[in-house]
Amino acid sequence: MKKELPYFTVGSSYGGNQNKLKNFVMYFGGCAAVTACDSCVCFAIYNGDKELYPYEIEANKSINENDSDAELQRINYRVDEKEYIKFTGKMKPFLKPRIEGINTLEIYRKGIEAYFASQKNTSRKVRELSGEASYEEARNAVRKQIDAGFLIPCLVLHHKNPALRDYVWHWFLLTGYEERGESFFVKVVTYGSHRSISLKDLWETGFQKKGGLILFE
């Protein structure tokens, strides 16, 4: 079984791209803010919370002749890169980079809740799932969230696997999953691109200090 959430582009990037931020502090430490910005853009597009992204979103219909009649027209959403960068500045006070980063779920939750409140949004609720939870709990939470249409901010602090070094001390988004037999893969979005990673490999870091998941409702 495979389930992926629809997304959007910022210029040529798949969602926001931290590497394109102009502010020095945000360029090096704005990963939490970028995941919050992408979450808010998706809430504006797909959940009707337009107050969470106060800029224009462009909808383009594309036609693929190989599609069935029912799927002939597809809508692709784009946001302007300059406006998106302005938006990261608007998010910065709520999830401001700091010496040790946004290194707990609590800091992130309180920050994005404060942003929701600043925009008079009362429909979005936020919960935490600690990285100390079992892999089975994490897998079930991911499946439930994606099936409900909610993307998932994820924090990894340390990791034993050098192949996952790009995700160490980093916030990124989970926007889909695929079950391959006994294996469970997640679609990971960060730095304006995406890839598929085993959730078990991602979750079992090998370190005592854990990150975890932010769960929207």
Measured in degrees and rounded to the nearest 5, phi and psi for residue 8 equal: -160, 165
Class of residue 197 by CB neighbours under 10 A (exposed 0-12, middle 13-18, buried 19+): middle
Instruction: Determine the Cα–Cα distance for residues 195 and 128; give it in Å rounded to an integer.
Output: 24
Instruction: Determine the Cα–Cα distance for residues 101 and 178; give it in Å rounded to an integer.
Output: 30
pLDDT tens per residue, range 146-192 = 999 999 999 999 999 999 999 999 999 999 999 999 999 999 999 99
What would the two tokens of residue 179 be? 């079950």
CA distances from 201 to 159, 167, 185 (A): 10, 12, 9
For residue 104, give the DSSP letter.
S
- Count the Cβ atoms, other than its own, within 10 Å of residue 53: 24
The residues facing 126 across adjacent strands are 216
E-assigned strand segments in 5-160? 9-10, 13-14, 57-63, 73-79, 126-130, 152-156
Query: Do 145 and 195 touch, CB atoms closer than 8 A?
Result: no
Q: Please, which residues have CB within 8 angstroms of residue 47's CB and are 6 or more apart in sequence?
A: 149
pLDDT along the chain (217 residues), means of 10: 96 96 95 98 96 94 50 73 97 94 97 98 96 98 98 98 96 97 97 98 97 97
Domains of the chain: 2-216 (3.90.70)
3-class state of residue 203 by DSSP: helix
Quick one: pLDDT at residue 94? 98
Quick one: pLDDT at residue 70? 40
Instruction: Determine the Cα–Cα distance for residues 68 and 52; give it in Å rounded to an integer.
Output: 34
pLDDT tens per residue, range 186-205 = 999 999 999 999 999 999 99
What would the two tokens of residue 216 be? 């929207």
Query: Do 133 and 184 touch, CB atoms closer than 8 A?
Result: no
Quick one: pLDDT at residue 75? 73
Instruction: Determine the Cα–Cα distance for residues 51 and 57; give it in Å rounded to an integer.
Output: 12
Quick one: pLDDT at residue 183? 97
